Amino acid sequence: MALDNDTKLNSLGFAKSPADTRVVVAMSGGVDSSVVAAQLAEEGYDVVGVTLQLYDHGAALAKKGACCAGRDIHDARRVAEEMGFPHYVLDYENTFKEAVIDEFADSYLAGATPVPCIRCNERVKFKDLLETAKDLDADCMATGHYIQRKLGAAGSELHRATDTARDQSYFLFSTTPEQLDYLRFPLGHLPSKDATRALASRYGLSVADKPDSQDICFVPNGNYASVIEKLRPGAAEPGEIVDVDGNVLGTHTGVIHYTIGQRRGLGIGGLADPLYVVKLDVDTRRVIVGPKDMLATRTIPVREINWLGDGAFDAADEHHVSVKVRSTRPAREAIIRPKSPTEAEVELLTPEEGVSPGQACVFYETGGTRILGGGWIWRGY
């Protein structure tokens, strides 16, 4: 039944009843997206659950009989049955491989440290799935991400989650303003994951006690190198571990086993001072190590910038912000100097250790919660 003109917007921001508001919920089979779907269904929205089959553990890990993420699909379907809304499974394996997995493997082979979860959000969930939601005549798409969408003077804004320990803003910086207008994040305001699990219990969901996933979805055992070797046979070619002067200190079984800033597992013990991986030279298959102070970086080149701040990302302006160069690091004050609408030089006011090509550099409002965008670190140091 339609609302009269005096009725306020519903909880998703539409001037109509929940029953007349269709929302597609991206359901991974985990607790977070399940709670979003259940909550919206309980509020009376026209909920449609969609789960993407993205990867085949059997293909990625060469294990006979491994299921195609079957448990997660089963859990999502069961939640939909429990809450009484339709649920669909879409086969996105080819899209996911081309848009995410192949780049992940190639980036590692090039000596970078990729973040596939960002590419998945950017190229699959918030692109292809979002278009599918529109094809289903949905008014919006909701996800279980811990982040907030707020309306500002210039339109939709992206803000950190209330629970800073669960905040996923680093992985969502490439969300465009147009996508942000269509997306909803119902969990972003919750104080903790315990609050989410309490809601799951209240709704009687079978996934209420399901553990959080810890690894990249297509690398379930955390062994990136083994997956890359399966995807790119011959990728793990041996080479030398050398110091910054070129002195050979040892050998390795493949550059793909190392990341910038790594200290453990180098196999070159017995030295007076600890050494860290400071560079990966893919062309010569050399892992270059040096003292910790060589990891300190002040100037970072960034490209593929997605700007979410007010106004244009103008090369004539400097932007004083805070930035994160890894998801687990605290934000540091910085100055962004644009070179073009999509490239910039970021100067850290305090040097950061372990900055690596392939990681994201995400921009935040200093002293606030707003995400101003970000880009990709693209050159070694």
Q: Is the pLDDT of residue 105 over 70?
A: yes
Q: What is the DSSP letter of 18?
A: G
Q: How far is 9 from 120, CA to CA, in rounded Å?
A: 32
Owner of token pair 């040892």: 250
Tell me, what's the pLDDT at 286? 94
Q: Contact, 123 vs 163, CB < 8 A?
A: no
Query: What digits encode the pLDDT tens for the residues 127-173?
Result: 999 999 999 999 999 999 999 999 999 899 999 999 999 999 999 99
Model confidence band, residue 62 (pLDDT cutoffs 50, 70, 90) = very low
Query: What digits encode the pLDDT tens for the residues 200-259?
Result: 999 999 999 999 887 788 887 778 888 888 888 878 889 999 999 999 999 998 999 998
Q: Is the pLDDT of residue 65 over 80?
A: no
Model confidence band, residue 380 (pLDDT cutoffs 50, 70, 90) = very low
pTM of the shown model: 0.90
Mean pLDDT for the chain?
A: 91
CATH number for the domain formed by residue range(s) 241-290: 2.30.30.280
Q: What is the DSSP letter of 3?
A: P
Tell me, what's the pLDDT at 270? 67
Q: Is the pLDDT of residue 379 over 80?
A: no
Q: Contact, 143 vs 33, CB < 8 A?
A: yes
Class of domain 296-377: mainly beta
When mean pLDDT is compared across 110-119, 170-179, 299-308, the lowest value belongs to 110-119
| Domain ranges (residues) in the chain | 18-202, 241-290, 296-377
Is 18-202's fold the same as 241-290's?
Answer: no
Q: Looking at domain 18-202, which of 3.40.50.720, 1.10.357.10, 3.20.20.190, 3.40.50.620 is its CATH number? A: 3.40.50.620
When mean pLDDT is compared across 154-158, 187-191, 259-263, the lowest value belongs to 259-263
Query: What digits encode the pLDDT tens for the residues 287-330?
Result: 999 999 999 999 999 999 999 999 889 877 899 999 999 999 99
**Residues annotated as catalytic (active site), given as ranges:** 120, 217
